[in-house]
Structure 1
Amino acid sequence: MDLSDAALLLAAGLAAGTVNAVAGGGSLITFPALIAVGLPPVPANVSNSVSVCPGYLSSVAGSRADLPPAGKLAVLMPTAVVGTLLGCLLLLATPARAFELVVPFLVLGATAVLAFQVPLRRLVGHPRDLSPRRRTVAVQVMVAVGAVYGGYFGAALGVMLVAGLGLVLDATLARVTAVKNLLSAVVGVTTVAVFALFGPVNWAAVAVIAPATLIGGYAGARLVRRLPSVVLRTLIVIFGTVIGLYLLGRALR
């Protein structure tokens, strides 16, 4: 790795950490950067998953004031870990082509859910109108689906989590984003554990990107707390649409 490669990865890490904290999808900055410096697709994907994890952790630190009580979060952690393990196993054991074709539609679908959250809530019912049992099941299903996706590919995980959780949680968008940051961190730590043992990680690239995502993640999380909900929602919808179309174009190439 020469100096220009390191500079590219450093800039990508800073940008990805910030984007992940605000909207999710920062992996679509670091993943192409890893490809650009010469890594094959699978090692780039695995190295990318390991690299962005510190940014998720710093996002949690930056948004901790908006997190709900620890007891409400603890019940989601096992689901997130198990879902991520399943996603990692899918990545390591199955061909990626079929999932590559599905991923863009998942991202675009999640973005549409977020964009039309108010009318959808009228259709399926507001979270506060659901029974505690139905609300609990809905939240666990959303976390499980997001974790499997995050373990397999991870790009736009934040968009998917915000869209899904925003539909089933009776909370402000800032709080939903804080929960998203925590779940993304759990997914990230789990993928690091799996890929460090079994994946083709390029540790030199990780050493450059990971510290940069720490700085970007904390800065992005602090920015979220200052943005009005309508602005934050608009940013996530725009970014999710761009990501989905980008992934669709790449899959059909």
Structure 2
Amino acid sequence: MTYSITELAKLAGISTRTLRFYDKKGLLKARRDPKNNYRYYDGAAINQLQKIMFLKLFDLPLNQIKKVLEASEAVQYQALCNQRKKIIAEQSRLSNLLINLNQTLATMKGAPAMNDTEKFAAFKAKRIDDNETQYGQEIRNKYGDKIIDDSNRRLNLLSEIDMMHLKELTNQILTTLKPLVGTHDLKNPAAKHLFDLHKEFLLANWSKEQYSPEAHRSLATMYIADKRFIKYYEEGTGKKGAAKTLKEIIAYYA
């Protein structure tokens, strides 16, 4: 069965503009009707679009998706398997959050109260999932599954006070970074303080075996290579170039 661009957009729940963009980028080439030059999509294109939408679920950049789709079927299969693992992890995280919220609502209606560990278990699980999403396979490839899994277990054992401290460290990092954005004075005491805060944050999340000056600098390099990090630091400080400044400070002191 074939679809016009409007029909496919409606079927997939996306815009015709998105389909035209995919065509322009070479992700999903439409065929052309020789009579009127209108775009149309066949069965192979439908399958390709489904793969694209699965790969986009966790913000995989389009240029990487294109590389996957141009690779062998084995590479595509593995990429989709990786997405399946992420979907299962997200499903588990949301289920735990729902259970936690249901328990909280029940407590408000007179049910026995949760203990402190139960109250924050789902949120720690979310943080672990966020770390996996942000640092991705690069960190596992570099340090191995054992170190990362040990780090995740360590995070899962953090107390409520420890979690509050991590949140406060995050806020302090953004607050200290904001006035430094764009600075070239890396010897500024405030820059050293920012580095110390960031190192403290990493040591609270990573195992001792995982941390090293090289690893710290490597992570900082990711801050300017990954749009998610760039967006996070720019939104957190309200300033363009925040991730770049943080990277330069870490590179100077690590």
Do the two structures share a fold, i.e. TM-score over 0.5? no
Rg bigger for which structure?
A: 2
Q: TM-score, normalised by structure 1?
A: 0.31
Larger relative helix fraction: 1
Higher relative contact order (CA 8 A, sep 6+): 1
